[in-house]
Amino acid sequence: MSIPRLNPYRAFSSPSPAPVRAPSRDRSAREDAAALTDRDRELILQATGQNIGPGEANAGWINALATAIGADRAAGRLAPGQEITELYLRDLARRYDGNPAGRNPITGYLEPALRHLRQQGRGGPSRLDVSA
């Protein structure tokens, strides 16, 4: 005896639709990686050791610093051509520090990134000069 005979309606029913999947985080990470500038990639390489090539079709997993910078670029918080500065990185760390989950994923990358900016002369003023 076969299954269709036990349930004659089953043989005529349409197959179940494929489950709808939410976009994967990998896709978002690839889009974020595509938004990175060459200088962003150099900063990320120096701070984290991860080399994210320009125009990589499939960047795959990217570290938290790269994800944060790429997301800010993609969302327009960092304008095209706007350099990453010490002020930006400290503000990024502050935003994560305010995270209710209590986890700051860029903490370990902050000092190496700041050191790289200072070595490149791109750190910007660490203090605001109000004497002018």
Average pLDDT for runs of 10 along the chain of length 132: 52 44 46 85 94 69 89 89 93 88 88 94 54 44
Instruction: Provide the pLDDT for residue 22.
Output: 34
Q: Of 120, 126, 132, nearest to 45 (Cα)?
A: 120
Amino acid identity of residue 50, one-letter, is Q
pLDDT of residue 126: 47
For the chain, the structural domain boundaries read 23-120
- In this prediction, residue 8 carries a pLDDT of 52
Residue whose structure tokens are 């995270």: 99
pTM over the 0.85 mark: no
pLDDT of residue 33: 80
**Helical segments of 12-63, H only:** 25-34, 38-48
Give me the pLDDT at residue 35, please.
Answer: 86
Specify whether the CB–CB gap between 91 and 81 falls below 8 A.
no
**What pLDDT score does 28 carry?**
63
C-alpha of 51 from chain center = 14
Locate 102 and state its tokens: 């209590």
Q: What per-residue confidence (pLDDT) applies to 124? A: 56
